[in-house]
Chain A
Amino acid sequence: MNELPIGSTARIITYTQQDSFTERLREFGLIPGTVIRLLRKAPFNGPVEIQYRNSRIVLRPNELAHLRLERIA
């Protein structure tokens, strides 16, 4: 994800692990197949903001790393 530029879109392929955190991601609607867009990165490797359907969430880069992504555009 770190190499994805701002404004790019990607599709969720799978999770890199199964725990209560990835369960929460799924409850948020970040299920495999979902297309997400990277809206913003906070400076100094801070949190990133992503959009998918009608939701916008922020999370830390190491949290986003729980998702295996495939870049679309």
Chain B
Amino acid sequence: MSSPSHGTPLHTAQNLTVALVGAPNCGKSTIFNALTGLRQKVGNFPGVTVEPKSGAIHIDKTTTRLIDLPGLYSFTPKTPDEELSIAVLHGKHERLPSPDAVVFVMEGTNLEKSLFLYAQYTALNLPTVVVVTMIDSIKANGGVFDDIAMEQALNVPVIGIVGHRGIGLEELKEHISLRGFTNAEPEKNNIPSASVIEEQHEWARNLASEVARVPETDSLTLKLDALFLHPVLGPLIFLAVMMLFFQAIFTWATPVMDSIDTGFAWLQGVVDRFVPAGIVQDFLSRGVIAGVGAVVVFLPQIFILTLFITLLEDFGYLARGAFLVDRFMGIFGLQGRSFIPLLSSFACAIPGIMSARIIASEKDRLTTILIAPLMTCSARLPVYVLLITAFVPATMLGGIFSLQGLVLMGLYALGGISGLIAGKVFKSTMFQGSKLPFLMELPPYRFPTWRSVFLTLFHRTKQFLTSAGTTILVLSIIIWALGAFPRTTTPPSASATEAAASQLEHSALGTIGKTIEPAFAPLGFDWKITIGVLGSFAAREVFVSVMGQVYSVDVSESDENLRTVLKNTISLPTALSILVFYVYALQCMSTIAVMKRETGSWKYPAIAFAYTLVLAYSASLLVFHLAQRW
């Protein structure tokens, strides 16, 4: 177990797998980001199985694969995250290799917690380097840390690190490239071997007090918590943060979106000018550029949303949010911790469903996973924005809030509240009678490092653009082809618009739409919208590119954009009906795949798909008929 899996001694091994191990909130991710940078592989792409982040480091002809294992509190697992980390360390994970060595990350400001985990970890007897983070905040608060004393006590290399300033990182890289790991042997330093928690804590506490003097919780955290967790001000600040969140998505992104829009229109113009009119021009302009452009235009909003959630998480506010909303979530049978996966689901249900692993209670976790798709993910945003900007006037209320922003917030609220009610229903039927731990640490506040935030944004943006460049491009082309064939001939007297409309109507796409139309007709959907809704079952944002295509015939003949065209062709009740349908329906293959993987059976994705479809259909039906009468 202690020798590299390749059968060569550790110090000469060219390729090594190193795991990053540590307690939650110990600063592990900052180190992982600092070491691997852009060379990361995040396993949450559609079709790729969910696993810990891994990345490669190349130094002096050596290659090291670094695996960022989820944080754990002990080696007696209580959550799926902890089970995963322990399985990898024991070499029992089905896909990940058994690590040859470990970088054990300790939180400098809470050494006892980290040393306790270390005491249990030494039973594995793995080659180890210990990294102590945040030594700057120990010293800033008047404390001291003696890395040499700790090295002597543990008999393994100890490196003090300040992740965001890069202090100690070179030394760590050197240890990794020179394979300077030493086996962490329990017997050498009297670590209690049996799983006697009290003794391990005593050992950890004694050692921690020998090597470091750390002031109690830093004063900044105490001051900030007095404000953020204040019984009255706390919830008000929380609401203000959420308001800012939704307003920012709408107002800050608009200028950038307009320029992206203009860019793609320019590109279409170029193609139309230089490529001779005919099937090739049509393919490039209406198939490729219109389809992809319609989705890429939403990048600014996804960017702002991801930025917001990353900042809140890195700062430590999400844990405070969980504390503040726990009582409220309790009304729906859930707990404060569900708030984190549910909030992440506003970016994308996939990371949301995965982060439900932090919930120890299996019943709470499954409930959270089942309702996560009702949180408004960023893929719905393109649909919402398109319809809202087409149908809701851009007036400002009281000079601060845009009416469009408020309607958007209303849609988010509708999804969120419906999700919570669904949660209550699940908890009082399928998942009855769990009384499970909310117990959670409140980590000290930390200023997010620009590097970490940048890397998260980079990977998320890359993921979005990759999907726009692959899945959505392919779907755009398929939908274009279905609309362009079979070719129809129109009398020469017909205008170009009439000819194009007739082509679409008699194409394969038109036929499919019309065949299925009766099923959606009660909701006010015509065959064009039906095509969009069907396309959305692959991924929701496809709706916009389908609309761009089915209506591009009109767009090309005038200066009007898609919004104006929609406003002139779709009635308000239909628009509302579409919006409500998208609030509820689980139209995302990737979410279904991840749900299956995270719950280990097709049962839960099937339940989620069925109940959201029933909700979507009935709510749209209701809204359409109410709006018509009103």
- Contact at B437–A47, with CB atoms within 8 Å? no
- Contact at A58–B438, with CB atoms within 8 Å? yes
For the complex, give the distance between the alpha carbons of A25 and B437 in Å: 10
- Contact at A21–B327, with CB atoms within 8 Å? no
**Segment from B73-81, B415-423, B506-514 that makes contact with A:** B73-81
Which of A24, A27, A55: most chain B CB closer than 10 A?
A: A27
Q: Is A73 an interface position by the 8 A CB rule?
A: no
Q: Is B395 an interface position by the 8 A CB rule?
A: no
Q: Is B435 an interface position by the 8 A CB rule?
A: yes
Q: Is B60 an interface position by the 8 A CB rule?
A: no
For the complex, give the distance between the alpha carbons of A55 and B107 in Å: 12
Known contacts A54-B216, A58-B323: A27-B73 contact under CB 8 Å: yes
- Contact at B229–A49, with CB atoms within 8 Å? yes
Q: Is A71 an interface position by the 8 A CB rule?
A: no
For the complex, give the distance between the alpha carbons of A55 and B114 in Å: 11
- Complex interface: chain A residues within 8 A of B335 (CB): 60
For the complex, give the distance between the alpha carbons of A51 and B225 in Å: 13
Q: Is A57 an interface position by the 8 A CB rule?
A: yes
Known contacts A31-B198, A47-B327, A60-B326: A24-B116 contact under CB 8 Å: no
State how many angstroms separate the Cβ of A71 from the closest Cβ of chain B.
21
- Complex interface: chain A residues within 8 A of B197 (CB): 23, 26-27, 31
For the complex, give the distance between the alpha carbons of A20 and B435 in Å: 13
Q: Is B460 an interface position by the 8 A CB rule?
A: no
- Contact at B73–A57, with CB atoms within 8 Å? no
The chain A residue with its CB closest to the CB of B72 is A27
Q: Is A70 an interface position by the 8 A CB rule?
A: no
Q: Is B41 an interface position by the 8 A CB rule?
A: no
- Contact at A58–B437, with CB atoms within 8 Å? no
- Contact at B442–A58, with CB atoms within 8 Å? yes
Residue-wise, chain B 437-457 has the 8 Å CB interface mask toward A (1 for contact) of 111111000000000000000
- Complex interface: chain A residues within 8 A of B360 (CB): 24
The chain B residue with its CB closest to the CB of A43 is B231
- Contact at A54–B217, with CB atoms within 8 Å? yes
A-B contact count (CB 8 A): 102
- Contact at B324–A42, with CB atoms within 8 Å? yes
Known contacts A21-B437, A31-B198, A63-B439: A54-B327 contact under CB 8 Å: no
For the complex, give the distance between the alpha carbons of A24 and B74 in Å: 8
Q: Is B286 an interface position by the 8 A CB rule?
A: no
With beta carbons under 8 angstroms apart, the residue of B73, B113, B440 that contacts A59 is B440
Interface residues on B, range: 35 or more
Known contacts A55-B110, A58-B323, A58-B438: A27-B231 contact under CB 8 Å: no
Known contacts A23-B76, A29-B113: A59-B439 contact under CB 8 Å: yes
Q: Is B214 an interface position by the 8 A CB rule?
A: yes
- Complex interface: chain B residues within 8 A of A46 (CB): 323, 326-327, 330
- Complex interface: chain B residues within 8 A of A51 (CB): 216-217
- Complex interface: chain B residues within 8 A of A60 (CB): 326, 335, 438-439
- Contact at A54–B112, with CB atoms within 8 Å? yes
Which of A20, A40, A44, A54: most chain B CB closer than 10 A?
A: A54
- Contact at A56–B217, with CB atoms within 8 Å? yes
State how many angstroms separate the Cβ of B375 from the closest Cβ of chain A.
22
- Contact at B441–A54, with CB atoms within 8 Å? no
- Contact at B439–A49, with CB atoms within 8 Å? no
Q: Is A16 an interface position by the 8 A CB rule?
A: no
- Contact at A47–B438, with CB atoms within 8 Å? yes
With beta carbons under 8 angstroms apart, the residue of A24, A26, A45, A49 that contacts B442 is A49
Residue-wise, chain A 23-43 has the 8 Å CB interface mask toward B (1 for contact) of 111111101000000001011
State how many angstroms separate the Cβ of A3 from the closest Cβ of chain B.
19
The chain B residue with its CB closest to the CB of A50 is B442
Q: Is B53 an interface position by the 8 A CB rule?
A: no
Q: Is A62 an interface position by the 8 A CB rule?
A: yes
For the complex, give the distance between the alpha carbons of A24 and B225 in Å: 25
The chain B residue with its CB closest to the CB of A42 is B327
State how many angstroms separate the Cβ of B335 from the closest Cβ of chain A.
8
- Contact at A58–B440, with CB atoms within 8 Å? yes
- Complex interface: chain B residues within 8 A of A21 (CB): 436-437, 439
State how many angstroms separate the Cβ of A50 from the closest Cβ of chain B.
10
Q: Is B98 an interface position by the 8 A CB rule?
A: no
The chain B residue with its CB closest to the CB of A31 is B198
For the complex, give the distance between the alpha carbons of A51 and B442 in Å: 10
- Complex interface: chain A residues within 8 A of B65 (CB): none
The chain A residue with its CB closest to the CB of B120 is A27
Q: Is B376 an interface position by the 8 A CB rule?
A: no
- Contact at A42–B326, with CB atoms within 8 Å? yes
- Complex interface: chain B residues within 8 A of A63 (CB): 437-439
- Contact at B112–A29, with CB atoms within 8 Å? yes
Known contacts A46-B326, A56-B217: A25-B439 contact under CB 8 Å: yes
The chain A residue with its CB closest to the CB of B322 is A58
- Contact at A24–B229, with CB atoms within 8 Å? no
For the complex, give the distance between the alpha carbons of A69 and B335 in Å: 25
Which B308-347 residues have C-beta < 8 A from chain A? 322-324, 326-327, 330, 335-336
- Complex interface: chain B residues within 8 A of A55 (CB): 110, 112-113, 441
Q: Is B368 an interface position by the 8 A CB rule?
A: no
- Contact at B112–A31, with CB atoms within 8 Å? no
- Contact at A29–B78, with CB atoms within 8 Å? no
- Complex interface: chain A residues within 8 A of B378 (CB): none
Q: Is B285 an interface position by the 8 A CB rule?
A: no
With beta carbons under 8 angstroms apart, the residue of B225, B327, B435, B441 that contacts A57 is B441
Known contacts A42-B324, A42-B327: A24-B439 contact under CB 8 Å: yes
- Contact at A24–B201, with CB atoms within 8 Å? no
- Contact at A29–B441, with CB atoms within 8 Å? no
The chain A residue with its CB closest to the CB of B117 is A27
Known: A21-B439, A27-B197, A46-B327. 9 other contacts (CB 8 A): A31-B197, A42-B229, A47-B327, A58-B326, A58-B438, A58-B442, A59-B437, A63-B438, A63-B439
> Could you list 10 A-B pairs, sorted by A, with CB under 8 Å?
A21-B437, A24-B360, A27-B76, A27-B197, A45-B327, A46-B326, A53-B112, A55-B112, A55-B441, A58-B441
